[in-house]
């Protein structure tokens, strides 16, 4: 087994544990945004699509590269934008909560989201 493959395996295995650990305490309300966010992150395949498209030199590789870049870019851009749209609303809600708190004349205590 080559050194490079060994390094890659190490990174792979450690990433599994990090991936599980990092989201182990996510509240239910964030399940959908989190799924959408991870969905955007695997759009990193765009890096791979660009690597294979860059060297395209035959009709087959041109078509493969073009389609791969289109699909991967859609994944990245759509993924991050749609996640932001969801989360934008969470922010709106917290501001709304604060505004209401102010109306009820409790201006000093900031509303802390759970």
Residue 78: count of CB within 10 angstroms of its CB: 14
Residue 53: count of CB within 10 angstroms of its CB: 18
Query: Shortest distance, CB of residue 59 to another protein, whole angstroms?
Result: 9
Q: Round to whole Å and give the CA distance between 63 and 56.
A: 9
Q: Could you say which residues in the range 16-75 bind another protein, by CB under 8 A?
A: 16-20, 22-57, 60-62, 64-75
Q: Could you say which residues in the range 70-109 bind another protein, by CB under 8 A?
A: 70-94, 96-97, 100
∠74-80-84 over CA atoms, to 5°?
140
Nearer to another protein, 51 or 107 (CB): 51
Query: Shortest distance, CB of residue 10 to another protein, whole angstroms?
Result: 10
Nearer to another protein, 4 or 108 (CB): 4
Query: Shortest distance, CB of residue 107 to another protein, whole angstroms?
Result: 16
Q: Round to whole Å and give the CA distance between 36 and 81.
A: 10
């Amino acid at each position: 087994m080559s050194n490079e493959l060994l390094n890659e395996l190490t990174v792979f295995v450690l990433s599994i544990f990090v991936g599980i650990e990092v989201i182990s305490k996510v509240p239910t309300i964030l399940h959908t945004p989190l799924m959408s966010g991870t969905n955007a992150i695997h759009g990193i395949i765009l890096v791979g699509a660009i690597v294979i498209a860059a060297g395209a030199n035959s009709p087959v590789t041109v078509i493969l590269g073009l389609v791969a870049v289109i699909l991967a870019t859609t994944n990245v851009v759509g993924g991050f934008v749609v996640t932001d749209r969801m989360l934008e609303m969470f922010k709106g809600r917290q501001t709304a909560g604060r505004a209401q708190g102010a109306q009820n004349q409790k201006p000093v205590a900031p509303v802390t989201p759970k």
